[in-house]
Structure 1
Amino acid sequence: MALSTSLPPGSTSRRASFAVVLAIELWERFGYYGMQAVLLLFMVQHLGVEDSQANLLMGAFAAMTYALPALGGWLGDRILGSRRAMLLGAMALTGGYALLAVATTRPALLTVAMAVIATANGLFKPNAANLVRRIYQGDDAELDAAFTLYYMAVNVGSTVSTLLMPWLQERFGPATAFAACAAGVFLGLCFYALRRSQVASIGSAPDFRPVPVARYGTILLGAAATIGGLSLLLQHGPLARDAVWLAGALVLLCWAAMYRRAAPADRPGLRLAYMLSIQGMSYFVFYQQMTTSLTLFALRAVRDEFKLGGVTLFSLSAGQFQAFNPIWIMLASPVLAWIYRRLAQAGRDLSIAQKFTVGFALVTVAFVIWWLAALAGGTGRVTPWVMVLAYAALSVGELLVGGLGLAVIARYVPASISAFMMGSYFLAVGVAMYVGSMMANLAAAGRTAATSGAMEGAGLYAGLFLRLAEAAGGITVLFALLLPLARTWDRQHAAAHPGA
């Protein structure tokens, strides 16, 4: 079978292939975001872990979860093929979430389960995204729209799970919630099995040749060693921190090596990809607050009842507030996709660098809202409507920055290294998320004072939210100053690849 690197624009086969990848990604996100909605609360409320320790454990876990795709992308490109790697990752994720359910009665298995999930995500994430890139290869306008809609559709799964899993945890215990995450990914695998023929012609080169059994054995041994090493790192915070910094340094070295070996025609695109990747990575310092400081803020400083005119409309628990992120993404994604198409038709399409700048301006607005609310709340609790408004700004910012991070790789990086580059982008995101957890501890560090009565309620988080707002505002100004350089490199890339 010949390798298919693209499908005809508007074709039924293109839409069918995209739908299959989209479905398994949706169920994978159902499992991951459901787990994420309850994991921190499980550690703090059921295991008695201190805020600061739980934040850093979540940060190290996130860093590992996003770092491993660099290796998974290479395996997809060179050894297994993107489709095979994606499927193996989904199967391992099912096992990882099931192991978390077991860890609720055997806490010693907690870090092992987290290590399995991180390793499995390394196989799944870059290769699923690479299949989307191959489906829409050569059509930049449709590619941006596809990645935006991809980002929207997978949030259907995350919305349902973020609302469902905290409810299951409260009603039936954390084991039930984690088991439901495993069941979701298994359903995604079942759907793929039924429709696998629709992606049979899409993949990277190794997908179209057999893999020796011995090589599978080597990969399984490597995966077991990786899981063991990650579990050890998660148990020892300083080791995890050093590993995160080392991984970030290795990515920079790999980028330098790829640039040195790249053809002159590819270098402007690589320069732009590197700059935009670093910009996109920066967003996830702020994104990590959703699972750390903002979840603890909701737990300790936000009222759970949504009232209008004195009438209670509904209530949410601390973990369920995270659902506002995917809800706003679903609402805003079709609008943004429509705007992208209209601007492109009028010849006034915004560059990715411009979208990033606008996105960070919205991130700034979000943390200004949280800062003002925390100041006003003082020692009491704030209205939950603040979370609705601030999450709206943060989530649209995510669409403009985080949602287009993969489109940067797809547009500017040569196909031969695209999966590895996608993986290295996720690793950079992981480093940023660890930094985000460190920043979250600016509030968690005051927890002892809070419990003694020196400080409590919303005011505990005001200093953190102010620093985050200041950082986001500074980054917005920096991005705006870099726009002329981004335009120059984009023109150089377009001139070197006129048919791309």
Structure 2
Amino acid sequence: MQANKTFFGHPRPLFTLFFTEMWERFSFYGMRALLVLYMTQYLFNEAQAGKEVWGYAAIRGAIEYFFGPLNNQALSSQIYGLYTGLVYFTPFFGGLIADRYWGQKRSVYVGGVLMAIGHFLMAVESLFFPALLFLILGNGFFKPNISTQVGGLYQEGDSRRDRAFTLFYMGINLGAFFSPLVCGTLGQKVGWHWGFGAAGIGMLISLVVYHFGGKNLPESKTFYAKAQELKSDTKLTRTEWVRTCALTFLCLVTIFFWGVYEQQGNTLQLWADQSTDWNFFGWEIPSTWYQSFNPFIIFLAAPLLDRYWGWQARRNKEASTVTKMAIGCVMGTLALAVMLVAAKNVGDGRGSVLWLLGSTFLLTMGELYISPIGLSLVTKVSPTKIVSMMMGVWFLATFFGNYIAGYIGSYYDRMPKENFFLLLAVLSLAPAILFLVSHKVLTKALSKEGLNNPAPGAQRTVEV
């Protein structure tokens, strides 16, 4: 049977999902690279000059009702935080609808079509806010169901599963790497609409790949069906309650890190555009190329970290899960400390790109110490009856973290840059302290499940 044929030792449908996700991430990160610059440099200036942007007055009025008068940068940061936060909020409901009603394949189609519509609507200034709504809703259907189908290609206990997620993860970062180079360059050098249009074309290619290559994709068993099987035993034991509470606390603590991490698409992109010298032998490199550095570092660092942790494990010196997550938060603090020094040295001028790249390198390493580790923890120790709900808690923490990123970013132009980056550094240090203080309690609550830390790429894909 066609479905049983393999390619490089894996089911052929895996590579359909690889390229589907690669082009979807191309469209998502291409649009994200331009979003804050588009709002601050063009769209909201045009809206204030009288150009119609549907819903602008109502949304600005609602945000300023709670936070007071905002300049364009602060308003853009708030909207960026709401958008990126809701992108992580809607997958819970998209997965629920897929589990109970539509199934994963139909949900991926619906999500892809909605996102394609959203990307093309971004090319029309007046439809900016409806475009964001389409993207948020589309991502809610697409995100949880494309990743679940990867796992559905393998039987329980199949040793190829982790390697499959690693390949899938590489597709995500391949799309994220090239999109700022293409969409960002078109948006900044040719016209905003060209950049958003290129993102839309990427989404259409994703749908075409999925349609013609996905005929043999199975419908994985839904969480709803599993819940029905477990109906006779729905009560959690005391041990399960302890694990659930420990996991929930761990997820909530990461909110602070994500509030710092997501500045890469917000205030750090503004720093890249306004305070960084991108002149390369007379050619001005588009500042959106900065967004490609994060996936580039992941390509290099993820396999090396995998080997390093394996080397530690063989000597029984590998750090615990909680310690690793604390290390990730400390790296986030160091990343913003670099930007604090940069702000003092650069002032109101333009400084070396090495400040920005050094900070982003540390943030990316922090991500690799938190994202795959935390996600693996949720999937391994959550009680089977509520594993889907606990995954929703993880996404919910990311939602709050992204919104906090937007809220704090609104102060970027309203306080000295040194103070702003100091605030972010402290925000990342706080969860590190919480993890270290609660280390013994959390480890005791979770250690009985025999936790093993995965390769950085192997589990991160489900979240990205």
Mapped pair 1:267 → 2:245: no
Q: CA deviation at 1:280?
A: 3.4
User: Do the aligned residues in 2 keep the contact of 1:134 with 1:203 (CA within 8 Å)?
Assistant: yes
Q: C-alpha displacement at 1:379, in angstroms?
A: 2.5
Matches within 5 A, 1:198-217: 198-200=216-218, 202-204=220-222
* 2:152–2:218 CA contact under 8 A, matched in 1: no
Give yes or no for the alignment of 1:28 onto 2:46: no
Counterpart for residue 285 of structure 1: 259
Superposed CA RMSD in Å reads 3.1
| 1:37–1:162 Cα contact (<8 Å) kept | yes
The answer for the alignment partner of 1:167 in structure 2 is 185
Aligned CA distance change for structure 1 residues 404 and 269 (closer, same or farther; 3 Å): same
State the shift of 1:56 in Å. 0.5
Distance 2:310 2:426 in 1: 33
> Displacement, 1:59?
1.0
1:481 aligns with 2:450: no
Output the CA distance in 2 between the equivalents of 1:343 and 1:75: 42
Q: Could you give the per-residue CA deviations for residues 4-59 of structure 1, whole angstroms, max 9, x where no partner exists? A: xxx9xx99775545433333222211111000011111111122451011111111
Superposed CA offset, 1:258-316 (max 9, x none): xx95344533442343233223333210122112211111222111125xxxxx39643
Matched residue count: 415
SS in 2 for 1:68: helix
What secondary structure does 2:412 align onto? Answer: helix
Moved more, 195-204 or 323-332: 195-204
Residue 190 and residue 417 in structure 1: after superposition, are their counterparts in 2 closer, same or farther (change >3 A)?
farther
1:396-415, Cα deviation, whole Å (9 max, x unpaired): 11122134443233222245
Scaled by the length of structure 2, the TM-score of the pair is: 0.80
Partner residue, 1:81: 103
Aligned to 1:176: 194
Q: Is the 8 A contact 1:147 1:403 kept in 2?
A: no
Deviation digits for residues 135-189 of structure 1 (CA, Å, limit 9, x no counterpart): 5675599766665654443111011001211211133311121111111122122
Which aligned pairs between 1:122-137 and structure 2 lie closer than 5 A?
Answer: 122-134=140-152
Decide whether the 8 Å contact of 1:67 with 1:428 is kept in 2. no
Does the Cα contact within 8 Å between 1:71 and 1:420 map onto a contact in 2? Answer: no
- Alpha-carbon distance in structure 2 between the residues aligned to 1:140 and 1:364: 39
For 1:16 and 1:337, locate their aligned partners in 2 and report how far apart those are by CA, in whole Å.
26
Tell me by how many angstroms 1:353 deviates.
2.1
- Rounded Cα–Cα distance in structure 2 between residues aligned with 1:206 and 1:477: 38
Question: What amino acid maps onto 1:393 in structure 2?
Answer: L
Structure 2 residue ranges without an equivalent (≥5): 46-71, 227-233, 452-464
1:98 corresponds to which of 120, 136, 148:
120
1:27 maps to a residue whose letter is: W
SS in 2 for 1:96: helix
SS in 1 for 2:349: coil
Query: 2 CA distance for matches of 1:413 and 1:76?
Result: 21
User: Match for 2:107: what amino acid?
Assistant: A
Taking structure 1 as reference, are residues 113 and 410 closer, same or farther at Cα in structure 2, changes over 3 Å only? Answer: same
CA shift digits 1:422-481 (9 cap, x unpaired): 3342232121111111111222225xxxxxxxxxxxxx4211111111222232222122
Q: Do residues 299 (structure 1) and 299 (structure 2) align? A: no
Counterpart of 1:157 in structure 2 is 175
Alignment of 1:46-65 (within 5 A): 46-49=42-45, 50-65=72-87
Which residue does the alignment assign to 1:441?
410
Which of 66, 73, 78 is the matching residue for 2:88? 66
CA contact (8 A) 1:144 1:407 kept: no
**Partners of 2:256 and 2:428 within 8 A in 1:** no
Closer, same or farther: CA 82–421 of 1 in aligned 2, 3 Å: farther
1:399 has 2:337 as partner = no
Look up the equivalent residue of 1:181 and give its one-letter code.
A
Query: Which amino acid is 2:260 matched to?
Result: F
